[in-house]
Amino acid sequence: MRPAAQHHPHVRALAVDGVSVTLGGRRILDEVAFTVQRGQFTGLIGSNGAGKTTLLRVILGLQRPHAGRVLLAGRPRARRNRSIGYVPQKVGLDPDLPMRARDLVELGIDGHRLGIARPSPARRELVAEMLAAVDAERFADSRVGRLSGGEQQRILIAHALVARPQLLLLDEPLANLDLRSGQEIVSLLDRIATEHEIAVLLSVHEMNPLLSVMDRVVYLAGGRAVSGTTDQVIRSDVLSGLYGHRVEVLHVAGRILVVAGGPAATNGSPDGLPGAAPLPDAR
Amino acid sequence: MGWLIEPGFFASAQVHTALVIGAAAALVSAVVGVFTVIRGQSFGGHALTDASATGGSGSLLAGVNPLLGFVVGAVTAAGAMEAIGVRHARGRDLATGIVLGASIGLASLFLYLDTTATATTGATQQILFGSIFAPAPGTVPIVAGFGAASLAIILALYRPLLLTSISGDLAAARGVPVRLVGLAYMLALALAVALSSLAIGAILSTALLIGPPATALHATRRAGRALIGAAGLGIACTWIGVLLAYDSAHWFSDGNGLPVSFFIVAVIFLAYLISDLTTHRATRRSTAAGRTGALVGDRDPRAAR
Ligand SMILES: Nc1ncnc2c1ncn2[C@@H]1O[C@H](COP(=O)(O)OP(=O)(O)OP(=O)(O)O)[C@@H](O)[C@H]1O
Ligand SMILES: [Mg+2]
Chain A CB contacts of B163 under 8 Å are 107, 111-112
B7 belongs to a structural domain = no
Residue range A15-58, pLDDT digits in tens: 999 999 999 889 999 999 999 988 899 999 998 889 999 999 99
The reported pLDDT for the residue numbered B304 is 38
Are residues B170 and A91, on separate chains, in Cβ contact within 8 Å? yes
Total domains in the fold of chain B:
1
User: Higher-confidence residue: B45 or B118?
Assistant: B45
Mean of the pLDDT values across residues B145-152? 95
Q: Are A267 and A258 in contact (CB under 8 A)?
A: no
Residue range B92-138, pLDDT digits in tens: 788 888 888 988 899 888 888 888 876 556 777 777 777 788 888 88
Distances (CA, A) of B258 to A51, B167, B246: 63, 45, 9
Are residues A81 and B175, on separate chains, in Cβ contact within 8 Å? yes
Residue span of the structural domain in which B170 resides = 22-291
Ligand nearest to the CA of A220: 1
B79 vs B48: CA distance, rounded Å: 10
Instruction: Judge if the beta carbon of residue A261 lies within 6 A of ligand 1.
Output: no
Q: Is A100 on the interface with B (CB under 8 A)?
A: yes
DSSP 8-state symbol, A117 = P
Mutate one of B221, B222, B299, B302 to test the A interface: name it (highest A CB count within 10 A): B221
Burial of B97 (0-12, 13-18, 19+ CB in 10 A): middle
Residue range A89-137, pLDDT digits in tens: 888 888 888 999 999 999 999 888 998 888 899 999 999 999 998 889 9
Are residues B158 and A80, on separate chains, in Cβ contact within 8 Å? no
In the three-class reduction of DSSP (H, G, I as helix; E, B as strand; rest coil), residue A86 is classed as strand
Q: Is B284 on the interface with A (CB under 8 A)?
A: no
Q: Which residues contact A177 (CB under 8 A, 6 or more apart)?
A: A149, A150, A153, A185
B29 vs B23: CA distance, rounded Å: 10
Mean of the pLDDT values across residues B243-248? 88
B131 belongs to a structural domain = yes
Per-window interface: B 257-276 vs A, CB < 8 A: none
Instruction: Judge if the beta carbon of residue A24 lies within 6 A of ligand 1.
Output: yes
Mean of the pLDDT values across residues B148-156? 96
Burial of A49 (0-12, 13-18, 19+ CB in 10 A): exposed
Instruction: Judge if the beta carbon of residue A57 lies within 6 A of ligand 1.
Output: no
Instruction: Judge if the beta carbon of residue A52 lies within 6 A of ligand 1.
Output: yes
A264 vs A281: CA distance, rounded Å: 17
Mutate one of A58, A90, A131, A141 to test the B interface: name it (highest B CB count within 10 A): A141
| Selection from B299, B38, B300, B67 nearest residue B193 by Cα | B67
Residue range A154-168, pLDDT digits in tens: 999 999 989 888 899
Instruction: Please state the atom number of ligand 1 nearest to the C-alpha of residue A55.
Output: 18
Mean pLDDT of chain B: 83
Ligand nearest to the CA of A51: 1
Out of 3.40.50.300, 3.30.530.20, 3.30.2350.10, 3.30.1330.10, the CATH code matching A1-83+165-231 is 3.40.50.300
Question: Tell me, what CATH number does B240's domain have?
Answer: 1.10.3470.10
Are residues A91 and B166, on separate chains, in Cβ contact within 8 Å? yes
Work out the number of other CB atoms within 10 angstroms of the CB of residue A165.
20
Chain B CB contacts of A146 under 8 Å are 293, 300
Are residues A91 and B162, on separate chains, in Cβ contact within 8 Å? no
Instruction: Please state the atom number of ligand 1 nearest to the C-alpha of residue A56.
Output: 18
ipTM metric = 0.81
B300 belongs to a structural domain = no
Sign of CA dihedral B220, B226, B232, B233: positive
Mean pLDDT of chain A: 84
Q: What is the whole-number distance in angstroms between the Cα of residue A47 and the centre of ligand 2?
A: 9
Sequence spans of domains, chain A: 1-83+165-231, 93-162, 235-283
- Cα–Cα–Cα angle for A99, A104, A108, rounded to 5 degrees: 155
- Give, using CA atoms, the residue closest to atom 7 of ligand 1: A23
User: Higher-confidence residue: A4 or B120?
Assistant: B120
Min CA distance, A77 vs chain B (Å)?
Answer: 12
Top-ranked range on mean pLDDT: pick from A126-130, A250-254, B61-65: A126-130
Are residues A62 and B167, on separate chains, in Cβ contact within 8 Å? no
Mutation probe of ligand 1 site: the residue of A21, A28, A176 with most atoms within 8 A of C-beta: A28
The reported pLDDT for the residue numbered A100 is 94
Side-chain-facing half-sphere of A107: CA atoms under 13 Å: 31
Per-window interface: B 153-192 vs A, CB < 8 A: 155-160, 162-163, 166-167, 169-176
Sign of CA dihedral B221, B222, B227, B228: negative
Find the radius of gyration of the CA atoms of chain A.
20
Residue range B180-236, pLDDT digits in tens: 998 899 999 999 998 888 888 877 788 999 999 999 998 888 999 999 999 999 999
Are residues B162 and A107, on separate chains, in Cβ contact within 8 Å? yes
Sheet with A67-72: strands ordered across: A26-37, A12-23, A67-72, A75-76
